[in-house]
Structure formats: C-alpha cells, structure tokens
C-alpha cells in the first residue's frame, strides 16, 4: 500500500461560457482517471496541474511539494514542476532519433531518478526502435517513445492527455498493455484523461467524473462505476468494474469461471492461473432481470440479487442498482419493464448477465 501523501488540487478557472471549479484529492500512486464528455474540464484540469493556465487560481501539492498556492502567492512555473506530459500526438523531435529524444529528456531532468533508461526501454519494449527517426515509427510506437521520454524527465507525476485518441483500435489494443505494465511496475502516480470508459475501466484505480467543470464523483473505480445516480453519458459507458479471482477452467467448452464477493461468472476462456486476480467489466446493457429463475436459457450466468435503487431517464429506460451479496451491479432495462416488474428497493430478482469483458 502506498503511504505517501495524496495529491491535493484545488482549481478555479474562469472562461467566457465555462467555469472550472474542482477540489481533488487523488492517491499518491496508481492511475487516477479524469472522465467525462467533451467540454467537462478534463484537459483544463491537466493544464492547471502543469501550470499552463495563467488564469488558474488554487492550490496544488504533489509528493509534498507545493506547486501553487494562490492564497500564499506561490506559483512554480511549468519548467520547474516535476511532471511528465504525454499528449494525443507524440510530439517527438523529428530531427532526433528515438535515442536522441530520450537523451534530450534525461539531460534536462532534475530531481531523484524514479526510473532508469534501461528499465524504461524494457517496460515499453522500445530497444529495437532507439536508432529510428520518428517518421519511421507507427502511431503506437511513437506514443510508447513519447511516454518513455516523459518518464525520463524524472517526474513526480505523469500526466496523460488522451494518449490513445489519435490511434486506431488495433494500435490502442497494442498500447494498453504497456500502460498497464507501467501502472504495476512504477510508483509514479499517473493522471489519465479520457472520454472512453473502456480505457478508464481497464487502467484506472481512482475515477473522477467531471461534468461542466465540476466534480460529480470521485473515488475507487469499483465504487464509482457501481453508482446508479451518476450519468456516464450513454448506455455503452454505464457498467461496473469488479475485482474477481480466476476460479476454474472448463477445457471442453473453453470457459473460465471467476469468483467475486457474492457470486461467480462463466466467461469465454481467459488465459489466467487459478487464484489470479482479474478486473472484469459488466455493462449495464448486458444485464437483464427476471422475477423467477429462468429455465431453458442460453445465458450461463444467472445470479440472485436485491434491488437497491432505480433511476428513470428521459430516454424511456431505467438504470437499476443491484446487490449481489456485497457486490454492486447495474442493469439497464426499459422503463416499461421496470414498472411491470415492480423494480423497487428490496425486490428480489434474478440477474441474467449476457456477457462480461475481462480487462487485461
């Protein structure tokens, strides 16, 4: 467990037609994601961390170092703040090789070394790319090199502004495992900006939900995603993230069973060892509800649950929060179905889970 002091940030920024007013307390390690629709203030928060918004008032403390305290008249300029910044595009120096880009960062780094050159090269698997020019790299390779360069500035905080946004789906799938590797291997805290819940659910430990420049929710991702009172934007974004354990494999039918507090799920075969901890995402739209145990159904996962809450929206659907013996689950059904089934607090139902994504 990371016992270092949490990151503290209080931002107030005024633009014509937009106000940012947030108070953040983020873990000193792992990945904290800023999530929300376009215009919610995600990138503005990141720019305030970096000291790039001249009109930002507030206070920022990272690793015990006060970068800004407007009340006390303190403002550390961007070049003296120990952060690494990765943009949507890699922004590598085109006249330098990958090695030259990395050396440039190292030559200008200050502070204690958090991670060495050889370890960065290994973690991001860029040894074969070191002598190439940036224009000879794929989009995913360029982003890996940009992350490596940011890490070699000896940051106490790594800021990532939608680093996958410019990549196609194949390149995104290529880069995500490297980001997960960094999360597990390094103690440097990361703040990750995205409007993709798939990315956030896979990477983030802590989730901040932003809307119109305000914090709607902040906490562990397993807790925030299980709330039914929050609006994640659309049906595809709503869904819970579960910590589960690999429990069994069924070789005949190519299935894997995972267990969590209050239940178990059968999934398409997962390459995991028995006992291994996995992160699972269950979308609300993949859960249907019944008042009696279904018979003769193709759905493998049917779990008894209790209704905790229900929120109707203007689209004719209801988001229902369920308790599975200690684990929260969300189901999105039509408002008509919710009414006919009497889905109110305390009602016993059976959740039919049509599919779940293993976030690896």
**DSSP string for 146-165:** HHHHHHTT--SEEEEESTTT
Q: How confident is the model at residue 360 (pLDDT cuts 50, 70, 90)?
A: low
Residue with tokens 């970068």: 67
- Residue of 356 and 29 predicted with greater confidence: 29
pLDDT at 3: 57
Is pLDDT at 305 greater than 80 in this prediction?
A: yes
| Pairwise CA distance, residues 41 & 19, whole Å | 9
pLDDT tens-digit profile of 318-328?
A: 999 999 999 99
pLDDT at 233: 63
pLDDT at 139: 92
Mean pLDDT to the nearest integer, 298-325: 93
Which of 143, 270, 279 has its CA nearest to residue 202? 279
pLDDT at 45: 95
Mean pLDDT to the nearest integer, 157-179: 92
User: Which letter does DSSP use for residue 37 in this model?
Assistant: S
61: exposed, middle or buried (C-beta count within 10 Å: 0-12, 13-18, 19+)?
middle
Q: How confident is the model at residue 1 (pLDDT cuts 50, 70, 90)?
A: very low
Mean pLDDT to the nearest integer, 166-175: 89
Q: How confident is the model at residue 236 (pLDDT cuts 50, 70, 90)?
A: low
- Residue of 82 and 296 predicted with greater confidence: 82
pLDDT tens-digit profile of 177-195?
A: 999 999 989 989 999 999 8
| Pairwise CA distance, residues 171 & 319, whole Å | 33
pLDDT at 258: 95
pLDDT at 337: 96
pLDDT at 132: 96
pLDDT at 49: 96
pLDDT at 34: 97
Residue count of the chain, please give it: 360
Of 176-190, 230-244, 326-340, the poorest mean pLDDT is in 230-244
pLDDT at 196: 87
Q: What angle (nearest 5°) sits at the alpha carbon of residue 223, between those of residues 265 and 274?
A: 35
pLDDT tens-digit profile of 129-161?
A: 999 999 999 999 999 999 999 999 999 999 999
pLDDT at 234: 62
Mean pLDDT to the nearest integer, 343-347: 95
Q: Where are the domains of the chain?
A: 7-224, 239-358
- Taking each helix axis from N to C end, the angle separating 139-151 and 169-185, rounded to the nearest 10 degrees, works out to 20
Domain 239-358, what architecture? Beta Barrel (2.40)
Domain 7-224, what architecture? 3-Layer(aba) Sandwich (3.40)
pLDDT at 358: 66
Supply the mean pLDDT for the chain: 92
User: Which letter does DSSP use for residue 28 in this model?
Assistant: S
Which of 95, 86, 48 has its CA nearest to residue 68? 48
Mean pLDDT to the nearest integer, 196-225: 94
Of 279-288, 295-304, 328-337, 351-360, the poorest mean pLDDT is in 351-360
């Amino acid at each position: 467990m990371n016992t270092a002091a949490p990151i503290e940030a209080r931002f107030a920024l005024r633009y014509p037609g937009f106000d940012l007013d947030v108070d953040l307390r983020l873990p000193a390690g792992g990945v904290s994601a800023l999530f929300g629709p376009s215009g919610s203030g995600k990138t503005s928060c990141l720019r305030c961390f970096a000291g790039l918004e001249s009109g930002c008032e507030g206070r920022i403390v990272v690793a015990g170092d006060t970068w800004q305290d407007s009340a006390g008249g303190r403002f550390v300029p961007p070049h003296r703040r120990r952060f690494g910044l990765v943009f949507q595009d890699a922004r590598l120096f085109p006249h330098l090789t990958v090695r030259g880009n990395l050396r440039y960062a190292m030559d200008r780094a200050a502070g204690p070394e958090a991670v060495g050159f050889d370890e960065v090269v290994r973690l991001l698997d860029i040894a074969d790319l070191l002598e190439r020019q940036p224009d000879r790299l794929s989009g995913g390779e360029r982003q890996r090199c940009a992350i490596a360069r940011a890490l070699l500035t000896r940051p106490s905080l790594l800021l990532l502004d939608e680093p996958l946004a410019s990549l196609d789906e194949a390149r995104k799938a290529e880069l995500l495992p490297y980001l997960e590797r960094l999360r597990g291997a390094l103690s440097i805290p990361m703040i990750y900006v995205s409007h993709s819940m798939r990315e956030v659910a896979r990477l983030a430990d802590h989730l901040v939900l932003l809307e119109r420049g305000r914090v709607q929710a902040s906490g562990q991702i397993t807790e925030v995603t299980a709330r039914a009172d929050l609006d994640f934007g659309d049906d595809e974004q709503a869904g819970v993230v579960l910590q589960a354990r690999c429990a069994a494999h069924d070789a005949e039918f190519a299935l894997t069973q995972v267990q969590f507090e209050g239940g178990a799920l059968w999934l398409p075969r997962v390459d995991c060892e028995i006992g291994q901890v996995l992160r699972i995402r269950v979308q609300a739209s993949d859960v249907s509800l019944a008042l009696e145990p279904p018979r003769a159904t193709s759905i493998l996962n049917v779990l008894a649950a209790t209704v905790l809450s229900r929120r109707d929206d203007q689209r004719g659907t209801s988001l229902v929060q369920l308790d599975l013996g200690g684990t929260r689950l969300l189901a999105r059904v039509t408002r008509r179905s919710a009414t006919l089934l009497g889905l109110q607090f305390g009602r016993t139902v059976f959740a039919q889970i049509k599919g779940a994504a293993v976030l690896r």
